[in-house]
Amino acid sequence: MSNGFINVLKPPGMTSHDVVSFIRRIYGLKRVGHAGTLDPAAAGVLPVALGQATKLIEYTTDADKSYRAELTFGFSTNTGDTTGEITCRSNFAMPEETELAAALHSFVGKNEQVPPMHSAIKIAGKKLYELARNGITVERKPRIVWIHKIELIRSDDPTILFDVTCSKGTYIRTLCMDIGAKLNIPAVMSFLVRTRVGSFSLADAFTIEEIAEQPNLALLPVDTALQHLPKVVLSESEARSFQHGQVIPYTGLAQPVLRIYQPNYTFIGIGQLSSNSLMPVKVMSFA
């Protein structure tokens, strides 16, 4: 069985589910999952896990993400991007770059975002976009997200291009609408490329065509998604105990979540420190 991650360069027009279906066909596997949904119109980095690596998806989805986004001023839609129905238009004067940069910078830090109706969040067992398609709008509670960095790249009336690094759960469509509101101009997201998910970067991503031609080359090690976690190499006896789900006495690192290796540097799982003990959280089995 193939185990590992693939750094997929998702093209516009494919859903994240389409990508998973494609990977299943190429590798002949059922156990495949993706980390961090991308809208069908968006492009960019989509980490896909195969086999045992699916156990580690949660550690990828929790990672910070980076995007390059295009925002268009002058109108709004019911989806927050250019795929939706236009709900209003407005004549406006394009702000100066200094005003644009200041508006973008005002979002750095902690933000409250109301998830868009056209999203995959479930309320009472129903996905919001399913309700929206039936003309139903429900109240959504604001969620806390973090904008770590945001930078204006270019201004070209009526659009701007900007880069943003943010926490998981951040909707760039909503951010674009909020930027427009800050400037008192309706705005939508007109294009989006995800450039990074944790340790997966756009520069290292594989296109659909490259994966189809050289599937073995595209498959990355299982622990690729865990480079942000401290590494611990156990002794042979400790590694055996860990693999049997036993708690091991351990001190030395302050971080509670660790990636665990055998003496030969084979990755064997995720451990959690508690009261000078190392407890197995995820144990890998490659047999």
Q: Based on the residue annotation, tell me whether 81 is a catalytic residue of this protein.
A: no
Give the other-Cβ count within 10 Å of 19's Cβ: 22
The angle formed by the CA atoms of residues 241, 247 and 251, to the nearest 5 degrees, is 105
State the catalytic residue, choosing from 18, 39, 62, 178: 39
CA pair distance 219, 124, nearest whole angstrom: 38
CA pair distance 187, 108, nearest whole angstrom: 19
What are the catalytic residues?
39
